[in-house]
Amino acid sequence: MAFVISGACTDVLDKSCIEACPVHCIYQGERKMYVQPDECIDCGACEPNCPVEAIAYEFEVPDDQQEHIQDNRDFFYLPLPGRDQALGVIGDARDFGKAGVDTPLVAESPRS
**Under DSSP, is residue 76 helix (H, G, I), strand (E, B) or coil?**
helix
Distances (CA, A) of 51 to 6, 8, 46, 69, 80: 13, 10, 11, 20, 27
| CATH placement of domain 3-96 | 3.30.70.20
pLDDT in tens, 27-85: 999 999 999 999 999 999 999 999 999 999 999 999 999 999 999 999 999 999 989 99
Q: How confident is the model at residue 1 (pLDDT cuts 50, 70, 90)?
A: low
Tell me what pLDDT residue 19 has: 93
Percentages (nearest 5) of helix, strand, coil residues in the chain? 30, 10, 55
Tell me what pLDDT residue 2 has: 83
Domain ranges of the chain: 3-96
